């Protein structure tokens, strides 16, 4: 979908249903695999990606790992109300447009 739509920003959860037989039924590695795939593909590598998950920021060093892999930021869903997420997304999109 990112290839076809080329969005201005992607909010990516780490825990998703199994999309690949290499992963368990629900597994955060699926999200990291998608992040890696998006960041190496020439048509999607420059799309800003924010990890938006309920895995606490202290969980296994996930925020650091995500940022090393190219994620712009790491947000824990439980820490934000929907309007706060929307405000943050708008700010990031504005920053991206301005460069």
* Domain extent listing, the chain: 11-98
pLDDT of residue 16: 77
| Predicted confidence (pLDDT) at residue 98 exceeds the cutoff of 60 | no
The model's pTM: 0.85
- pLDDT mean over 36-59: 90
pLDDT of residue 19: 57
Q: Compute CA 4 distance to the chain's CA centroid, rounded to the nearest angstrom.
A: 18
Confidence category of residue 25, pLDDT binned at 50, 70, 90: low
Classify the C-alpha dihedral 72-76-79-82 as positive or negative: positive
Give, in words, the CATH class of 11-98: alpha beta
DSSP state of 21: T
Q: Between 28 and 99, where is the model more confident?
A: 28
- The pairs formed by 3-8 with CB atoms below 8 angstroms and a separation of 24 or more are 3/41, 3/43, 3/44, 6/43, 6/44, 6/47, 7/47, 8/47, 8/48, 8/93, 8/96, 8/97
- Could you read off the pLDDT of 51-65 as tens digits, one per residue? 999 887 666 889 999
């Amino acid at each position: 979908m990112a290839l076809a739509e080329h969005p201005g920003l992607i909010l990516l959860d780490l825990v998703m249903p199994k999309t690949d037989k290499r992963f368990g039924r629900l597994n955060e590695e699926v999200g990291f695999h998608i992040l890696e795939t998006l960041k190496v593909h020439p048509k999607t590598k420059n799309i800003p990606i924010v990890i938006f998950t309920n895995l606490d920021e202290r969980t296994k060093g996930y925020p650091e790992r995500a940022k090393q892999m190219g994620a712009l930021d790491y947000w824990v869903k439980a820490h934000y109300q929907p309007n706060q997420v929307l405000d943050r997304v708008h700010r990031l999109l504005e920053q991206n447009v301005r460069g």
